[in-house]
């Protein structure tokens, strides 16, 4: 009886072990079928701008404006009563490629020469500054200014001094030219230096009425000597 009981207990233990072994095998199989973390999961680095889409350094400055500055322009300003000084001014402007500006007064001068002499002398005695009818536009763009006028009683017409004192000549180059019967610049160069304070004044050109017939050659030679012939 005891032997039979022992056999039954042994058989029971064998079946129990077998059942436990089967359960562990099933558990192991389920673990192997768990999904793994996908290697294609997006990372934060994928959100950055690709290096290839960045603007190359060599192109980054290609759209910057050209900051090079142009050379200053040239102006020929003149006062002319008879037309002689105007003739000379036009030749200078043509040779240099300069802009022209006529210095003209609000109140016109008489056409009578003898009366004009009286008016000119009176204005000099009063150190007058006749009002001009126009102003130079874009004055700051000019670096070189030719100033021409006739000889009136050994001086420039007072309107020329009005012009000179209306602008800032600091760091500008002023070049006088003159027409006359025979008197040349007279004392006008001293007055110009005083009225155009700050200007660098170069050697001027004065022609008499008898020399105006050769004005083209004389102007060309003069400009060449100054290194200003365009």
Q: Which residues pair with 179 in a beta bridge?
A: 150, 207
- Count of the separate structural domains present in the chain: 1
Q: Tell me the whole-structure pTM to 2 decimals.
A: 0.69
Backbone angles phi, psi at 226, to 5 degrees: -90, -10
pLDDT of residue 71: 57
* Token pair in block for residue 195: 């009225």
- DSSP strand E in 22-171: where? 73-78, 99-102, 142-150
Give the chain's length: 230
Report the C-alpha gap between 196 and 177 in whole angstroms: 15
User: What token pair was written down for 200?
Assistant: 């660098």
Q: For residue 17, tell me if it sits in a domain.
A: no
The answer for residues whose C-beta is within 8 angstroms of residue 132's C-beta and 6 or more apart is 103, 104, 105, 106, 159, 162, 163, 166
Q: Is residue 135 part of a domain?
A: yes
Within the chain, which residues score under 70 in pLDDT?
Answer: 1-71, 230
**pLDDT for res 229:** 79
Residue 79 lies in a domain: yes
Q: Is there a domain that residue 24 lies in?
A: no
Q: Which domain holds residue 171?
A: 73-226
Residue 12: inside a domain, yes or no?
A: no
Q: Which residue, among 169, 172, 166, 177, has the nearest Cα to 203 in the 3D structure? A: 177
Cα Rg of the chain (Å, integer): 49
Residues 52-66: pLDDT tens digits? 333 333 333 333 333
Q: What is the CATH number for 135?
A: 3.40.50.360
């Amino acid at each position: 009886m005891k032997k039979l009981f022992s056999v039954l207990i042994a058989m029971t233990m064998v079946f129990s072990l077998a059942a436990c072994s089967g359960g562990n095998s099933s558990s192991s199989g389920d673990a192997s079928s768990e999904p793994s973390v996908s290697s294609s999961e997006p990372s934060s680095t994928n959100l950055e701008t690709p290096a290839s889409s960045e603007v190359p350094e060599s192109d980054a400055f290609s759209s910057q404006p050209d900051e090079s500055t142009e050379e200053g322009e040239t102006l020929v300003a003149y006062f002319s009563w008879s037309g002689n000084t105007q003739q000379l001014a036009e030749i200078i402007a043509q040779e240099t490629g300069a802009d022209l500006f006529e210095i003209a007064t609000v109140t016109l001068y008489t056409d009578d020469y003898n009366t004009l002499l009286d008016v000119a002398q009176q204005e000099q005695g009063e150190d007058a500054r006749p009002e001009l009818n126009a102003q130079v536009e874009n004055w700051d763009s000019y670096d070189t200014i030719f100033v021409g006028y006739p000889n009136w009683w050994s001086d420039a017409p007072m309107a020329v001094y009005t012009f000179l004192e209306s602008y800032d000549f600091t760091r500008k180059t002023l070049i006088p030219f003159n027409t006359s019967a025979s008197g040349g610049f007279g004392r006008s160069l001293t007055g110009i230096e005083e009225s155009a304070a700050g200007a660098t004044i170069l050697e001027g050109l004065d022609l008499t009425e008898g020399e105006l017939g050769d004005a083209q050659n004389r102007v060309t030679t003069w400009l060449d000597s100054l290194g200003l012939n365009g």
